[in-house]
Chains A and B, each alone.
Chain A
């Protein structure tokens, strides 16, 4: 794998940031065809420095997407298949005894990569799921009283199957709240599927994905995105939206303060797509459903696709009801 030496430049501008993001999206588009919007969202989430939750049927390209992301960004990658018997140590690593020196040393687990694909996260018991929490929140892992920093940038792409719930452990709210964006790819359009059928013969689609940026550039891109201006009126808009979810009769729980912050950073990254160094209400609205639909809790006890759709619908409806600043 080539390590691109590209950097955002000494004085990054919205235009240069947008160029990097478009290059990334183009590479991802090679692996996941016919999903430009979703690909854009993935890049936005990456630039905003958040973790990504992919919720979809098996076999629509979730794993491919994650792997393509790692390749395009030239990040170290690991895939952890979550199963019912997976233990925290299987992810985090363990202290290994060396008989010759009679000492323990830490052997890092698969979590110690820059991009970790947590496949079918909801299949693992809560204890194992929560082993991810600290890493996602603080970028470090504590084991036997020792903290081990995770590589930077550290991003988790988790997947879960929204249909088959038997033998699964629904993700705890605290865990859900740590994913910046939830996406579902959905089945590709028929023509795309047909094209896949004809072209995807010999080589894997991942083979055509090239590294177009590196960890340093990604880090500076994230720093730049964090600097994007968010006007007081837009901040007020986000807060009003959050309050609307908290006061909504159909919602058991509205957006948390972390959700408010998450929407802010997602909107900042979204603004870069337009080559802007400031956030508009449109940016907020664009990221509202991906950011918040998985964080609000419906009063009705439905689960699965219908609940997911209903939450997305509710949040979208709120964005129409709450007046945007003019």
Chain B
């Protein structure tokens, strides 16, 4: 057996890798499957075919893996689709490492197909599409090279270079065709097939809002650069970095370890339609992106009204009702990958605010302290405040102390019985939740009402709007000021409030998010209804005023005709271009010259038989004594020499010859004009 072509195997293995990537981007495959496949891929790319000698052993291992996965599925720990995908990945890994023969090639490509199908069930975003295209291209190239390789006799080299160029052209054509098919073909909704994750690199799990905040529970999100929210503000603040608080919900009860809400509300609001409000309010148009992963509406502090809520589901946009939960949280009542809504907020520095009409039970709750609060907390507060009773001044004093004496860290330091005391007196370092909790509890010990607020801080400018990242998730304190309402006070050191990710990574991701946004708008969310609307818009007859005397035309409007004409013209041009392609290559200077001569003769209506070449025309005219023969003879001779005799036309020679011919044609035309006049003269007089 001849040695297989190395390039073909590399393409095949990379294609399988791309197919596996189509599943892996969903982030739902078990880590060990990822590890096994990656190892197999690296080994295969290094041309190490481990399984070639241990086929039985690998089959046994596969069987064990199948049993394990089956057990996980029956126990409910794994979804059936994920199990199937994981197993396809393992089979592919085993095939990659086996002897590269016809059978294993075919099976590798087949498992590749299975894996991209599995990937479609798990994920449907842009990264998946890129993997799919990569798989299509790589596998096609590998298959085509395989055909060529099989056709080349043993011992002869495969003409890779000669083959790859037309092959790449063909594959490009196929990919373009597939994209056109994707755009034009009616869409099916695949979301019922399997559990669909949020797109990209898995869900930004900790960005959502839960009913509780456990101290030290979510520290790593500060470095997550995924964009969760996109907003346009009116009036536009025009700043590059927005130092504003996006509040999601608040918590009023702290039990020493976690924050919850006692005073709750659970009612469903009808859809509110927002109309332009007064100029003092800040209008926001917010888009919650799939990476957000939650249903809670977020708005700039302090939100006064939320409305026009729309859920962007797989089958199109849908107006959604919202539910009011405890802690002032507003949630969408339906689950969708993305949402849009509008909100009006009081500007951050507004003096006039919400009324101080707090319920008595709510006011009590804002002063409640954990049962087993460390007595040192109250002592600390008293010593720092030193008799200060005014809520805002007291809060500022405490903030100064906290920011001066405590360090910011994302290190969780393990679970603790009393995380607050641990932060204040032992570690003296923590993250935003520690700072906010400390400030809130310290204020409460001194009889000042306060609560914990969670949401996001900041926003970076992009495309005239603002992006908020998962890493911008933040916690701060609301201090209740009688007569003014809740005022935001943030104890976290200012430099640590926003996302802590790498700037370059953030920029790259911002770009990715922007592209992905476009992708989702124009591809994933481009539904059958959108297609239908586009088509019907095109052919819908123009609207006529109702009072018009004429009956409305049922014919499509002018733009439909124009579009059809443009499409037809393009198709015709492309068809002609393709038809001429091979001929154009051999088009010679002399032939172009002949074309111009032919065109001149045709314009001058020189009598010519059908299909008569210049070589035949010239001697015929000479035999007939035609005056043009004199001009044509040297020209024809020169053309023939240039075309068939290998004596090319010199620069400018063609122009010179054509000019001479042009003059001869003009003279002949003049002669022809005179002749009938001479003949017509007597006849005219006679009549």
Contact = CB atoms under 8 A, between A and B. Distances in A.
Contact of B613 (A234, A277, A282): A282
Contacts of B595: 326
B285 interface: no
A21 B645 CA distance: 21
B643 A231 contact: yes
B644 A231 contact: yes
A156 B616 CA distance: 32
Q: How many interface residues does chain A have, given as a range?
A: 10 to 19
A301 B646 CA distance: 45
Interface in B626-647: 640-641, 643-646
Interface in A275-320: 276-282, 285, 320
The secondary-structure label for the interface of chain B is: helix
Interface string B588-612: 0001001100000000000000010
A285 B616 CA distance: 10
Contacts of A278: 640-641, 644-646
B644 A233 contact: yes
Contacts of A320: 611
B599 to A, nearest CB: 13
A229 interface: yes
A7 interface: no
B644 A326 contact: no
A241 B640 CA distance: 20
Nearest to A228: B645
Nearest to B644: A231
A325 B614 CA distance: 12
Contact of B646 (A229, A282, A324, A326): A229
B615 interface: yes
Q: How many interface residues does chain B have, given as a range?
A: 10 to 19
A215 B438 CA distance: 124
Contacts of A279: 644
A312 B488 CA distance: 106
Interface string A246-280: 00000000000000000000000000000011111
Contact of A234 (B586, B594, B611, B644): B644
B591 A280 contact: no
A325 B646 CA distance: 14
Interface in B1-52: none
Contact of B616 (A233, A234, A282): A282
B234 to A, nearest CB: 68
Given A326-B591, A326-B594, A276 B645 contact: yes
Nearest to B586: A233
Interface of B: 586, 591, 594-595, 611, 613, 615-616, 640-641, 643-646
Interface of A: 229, 231, 233-234, 276-282, 285, 320, 324-326
Given A229-B646, A234-B644, A277-B645, 17 more contacts: A231-B644, A233-B586, A233-B643, A276-B641, A276-B645, A278-B640, A278-B641, A278-B645, A278-B646, A279-B644, A280-B644, A281-B615, A282-B616, A320-B611, A324-B613, A326-B591, A326-B595
19 contacts: A229-B644, A229-B646, A231-B644, A231-B645, A231-B646, A233-B586, A233-B643, A234-B644, A276-B640, A276-B641, A276-B645, A278-B640, A278-B646, A279-B644, A280-B644, A281-B613, A281-B615, A325-B644, A326-B613
Query: 10 closest A-B pairs (Cβ-Cβ)?
Result: A278-B645, A282-B615, A231-B644, A278-B644, A326-B591, A280-B640, A280-B644, A280-B615, A326-B594, A320-B611
